[in-house]
Amino acid sequence: MVTKHLSRIYTALIFVFLYAPIVVLIIFSFNDSKSRGNWNGFTIKWYIELFKNKEILRSLYYTLIIAITSSLVSTIMGTFAAIGIYDMKGFTKKFALNLNYLPVLNPDIVTAVSFMVLFKMAKLELGIITIILAHITFCTPYVILSVLPKLKQMNKHLAEAALDLGATPFYAIRKVIIPQIMPGIVTGALLAFTLSIDDFVISFFTAGKGVSNLSIMIYSMARRGINPVINALSTLMFLTLMGLLLIIYKRSEKEEEKAIEK
């Protein structure tokens, strides 16, 4: 009993450590003061000012365009790459997996400088296109790592049976394999989306003039003091992601219940 209570307390402390900063941020997004250490009363003026601040809204627009585009492309690429790696054998499979681990383990600063040099050599003008290309590259390995476990869990004989019954390989992937690994694909897509929004170093080195996502804008803002509007924006983004996660959780729960009933 003592061990059980200690494990619960330990788990609770971990969650407090993880979410206490976010809770403080949400509370101070309603603070009627620019100070980040004193509470001067409740207000929603920062939320009103958020939708009037053109600089922040422009950065949010670029952030969402980059994140949505890069997560969609990296999810498609990562899913098909994971299926290809799963079907490999022996040394080829190990080599492909190790290559996939490199961008994950590689420090962001090394990846960022490498992209900058590559784009300069290719004579590509730094801007939104180069940021999207860089984000697709570093997000794809995470999608592969999210999809591979689901491929190992699925019943591979169903795809083989579909091929024996005359289905084309693409039809078997679309109708048999992808429905079985969909939770991994969704997880990979959310992870890619979150990583893209969160990234600063790679975005900073691959962005051109006139293109600034939220991370770059907040970095430049930190020198002269963070605007409390950022607290409001961060709160809305956090609540939106929490809502998406709850919807996905409820959907997967219903699918599991249907599978059990069948």
The confidence band for 141, taking pLDDT boundaries of 50, 70 and 90, is very high
Query: Would you state the pLDDT for residue 198?
Result: 84
pLDDT digits (tens, 9 = 90+) for 88-99: 888 888 898 888
Find the mean pLDDT for residues 177-197.
88
CB atoms within 10 A of CB 136: 22
Q: What pairs with residue 42 in β-bridges?
A: 31
Average predicted confidence (pLDDT) for the chain: 85
252/244 Cα distance (integer angstroms): 12
Q: How far is CA 182 from CA 4, 77, 135, 150, in A?
A: 35, 14, 22, 8
**Which residue has better confidence, 183 or 140?**
140
Task: State the angle between helix axes of 214-222 and 178-198 in degrees (0 to 180), rounded to the nearest 10.
Answer: 20
C-alpha closest to that of 28 among 37, 15, 16 = 37
159/181 Cα distance (integer angstroms): 12
Start-to-end CA span in the chain (Å): 39
Q: Please give the helix or strand (H or E) that residue 158 lies within, else none.
A: helix 156-164
**CB 85 within 8 Å of CB 96:** yes
DSSP strands (E only) in the chain: none
For domain 54-261, is the CATH number 1.10.3720.10? Answer: yes
What's the one-letter identity of residue 30?
F
Residues of the chain with CATH 1.10.3720.10: 54-261
Q: Any residues with CB less than 8 A from the CB of 42 and at least 6 apart, and which?
A: 30, 31, 32
189/183 Cα distance (integer angstroms): 10
**CB 112 within 8 Å of CB 205:** yes
CB atoms within 10 A of CB 80: 14
Q: How far is CA 19 from CA 16, 26, 35, 114, 208, in A?
A: 5, 11, 21, 34, 34
Query: Would you state the pLDDT for residue 255?
Result: 64
29/233 Cα distance (integer angstroms): 9
pLDDT digits (tens, 9 = 90+) for 28-68: 888 887 776 777 888 888 888 888 888 888 888 999 999 99
